[in-house]
Structure 1
């Protein structure tokens, strides 16, 4: 069965490719009301609805604390009063005027054991690894993926958002090239996906109850699952196999709930709404028109409901579902984003 896509907007947005990455959307779990975009030495906080309606002016702008550091995934508090930056050697909370609120120092993401630092923390060392951080949806915690200062192992830490004090930590079995956090809509759990390049990926779900940090890492035996999205209404979450061979739905403890193979899936997929998964195939790795397209799947069983058809010549990219019944594509040659619904 075919489903017809209806165009509802075509705003021109600087840094358009970032809008197809889940890490730029923040706030309220799956609601994703804000978009965080880096522009030069600044992190711009946009209201998602306004940005997609063509409003380029951000609501708030935070200066990046480290000249020359262009890696890491950063976060902003729910009330936009402070941002938390994942740096090469620290996690730093910054006010809108650029003032440092606190700094949590960790090892260097350079990953060259024993290398010397010259100068202060402003120096950026060579290397291509980085971590990430995320302010919890209630604004009380900061979750951060960091490197240990002594052993150079990686840890997942929970910090007090008021002063950066470490509340808990969990040792990870990762050697990251990068990572990102996903806030669960239950307001309690935080997801972490660690990408390790050709070595695979790891998925963790954590919960801090004020005394104990509990972490689910049951999916990581094969090093082959990438966290794609979390369901807006129940604890399930969606992953894609590292080599793009299948999509899977899981419970928070890693239990497999559903699986879909058959097609050459692309990296960009997620929940169109509570009942539907939207996924693309063949954009990255197939030239077969029968294998290339946008597909609708049942959100619980991953059974294929049908294929989405677009007006001729309008789409040549993967699709990013927004969870509200709409999704984004973009033109490779321009800064134009297209927003669609069924």
Structure 2
């Protein structure tokens, strides 16, 4: 049956479409939701509570170290003292006053081998590949997906996952990723405070998913999902720590244990690349148009968080047609975006 959506608030925020398509949300201590929005040569940090209370100006603004670089997954530490930027040839930590804290240099993400560099770190090479970084929830580490080696031969190109000291950028651990040829990536902190998730998109070549943990100087991983190269990591439950994936082509939605074991599956329809835990009991997921499988698609669906059985489809007020995917926030609310008015809206279930 249909479940009515109730509007909690709306805010004009040009460029906010990326907040729903990408992975620029970081939920920190106290449950506050922080949205990171790359706007020109700056990274804007918006607290959602303040945004919907009428505060349109960002809480913080960090200058992008490479003005011509518009890719990569960036992160801000819990104390808001620095941002970690994933660049084409380095990871750079930038303090709140705009000064550089440290630089971790790595090989170039441009997968065209043997191309020259001018020596100017602001140079942006033609490639469209990128990595990502994520500050740990305790603010002590920076996890970064980087290029470890890139020589004059395609066989020299090697990506890796490194763990850096957040204070000085020292490399504490690394894991080569010989199977990865990324177009881009993003990372997701596990609620146990020890593991980090890495999802690597490789375009038509598939997807890789890793759960990493630093043990001393070693980086150990769960990578059991990578045999099929076809699952995209989306969200992790805040309590029982099951995580959600969607098959690359949308054929099914699955709930997994940390080691990749499938705990539940829904293959009743063709799922879109948009799902997450609405709260501890409910998953919110978008489906695509697939009349051959279910004539009621497309739509946004509420599913049981443990079984992935459908509870109902979301029904918006008359005249409301969200533009693109939804974004669950884990507290019983979700976001939509209206591209015409460049407005982001926050919703909950009627009666909540």
TM-score by length of 1: 0.95
Partner secondary structure for residue 20 of structure 1 = helix
User: How do 1:82-121 residues align onto structure 2 when only pairs under 5 Å count?
Assistant: 82-121=82-121
Look up the match of 2:347. Answer: 340
Look up the match of 1:163. Answer: 168
Contact persistence 2:238–2:280 (CA under 8 A): yes
Contact persistence 1:30–1:230 (CA under 8 A): no
Contact persistence 1:25–1:32 (CA under 8 A): no
Look up the match of 1:210. Answer: 216
User: How do 1:1-342 residues align onto structure 2 when only pairs under 5 Å count?
Assistant: 1-28=1-28, 31=31, 33-150=33-150, 151-172=156-177, 173-282=179-288, 290-316=296-322, 317-342=324-349
Indicate how the Cα distance of structure 1 residues 333 and 281 shifts in structure 2: closer, same or farther if over 3 A, else same.
Answer: same
Q: Deviations over 1:79-106 (max 9, x none)?
A: 1111111000000111122211111110
Indicate how the Cα distance of structure 1 residues 30 and 259 shifts in structure 2: closer, same or farther if over 3 A, else same.
Answer: farther
Contact persistence 2:149–2:159 (CA under 8 A): no
Q: Deviations over 1:259-295 (max 9, x none)?
A: 1012121111100001000011127x77997211111
Contact persistence 1:9–1:339 (CA under 8 A): yes
More moved, 114-123 vs 83-92: 114-123
More moved, 92-101 vs 268-277: 92-101
Partner secondary structure for residue 264 of structure 2 = strand
The number of equivalent residue pairs is: 341
TM-score by length of 2: 0.93
Contact persistence 1:65–1:98 (CA under 8 A): no
In 1, Cα distance between equivalents of 2:318 and 2:6: 12
Contact persistence 2:269–2:287 (CA under 8 A): yes
State the shift of 1:58 in Å.
Answer: 1.3
More moved, 116-125 vs 230-239: 116-125
In 1, Cα distance between equivalents of 2:149 and 2:121: 14
Partner secondary structure for residue 220 of structure 1 = helix
More moved, 36-45 vs 205-214: 205-214
State the shift of 1:29 in Å.
Answer: 8.0
Q: Deviations over 1:141-162 (max 9, x none)?
A: 0000000135321000011111
In 2, Cα distance between equivalents of 1:137 and 1:243: 32
Contact persistence 1:182–1:190 (CA under 8 A): yes
Contact persistence 1:74–1:85 (CA under 8 A): yes
State the shift of 1:201 in Å.
Answer: 0.7
Contact persistence 1:30–1:323 (CA under 8 A): no
Contact persistence 1:279–1:294 (CA under 8 A): yes
Look up the match of 2:153. Answer: none
Partner secondary structure for residue 18 of structure 1 = helix
Indicate how the Cα distance of structure 1 residues 332 and 14 shifts in structure 2: closer, same or farther if over 3 A, else same.
Answer: closer
In 2, Cα distance between equivalents of 1:205 and 1:30: 24
State the shift of 1:11 in Å.
Answer: 1.3
Structure 1: give runs of 5+ residues left out of the alignment: none
More moved, 28-37 vs 132-141: 28-37
After superposition, the CA RMSD in angstroms is: 1.8
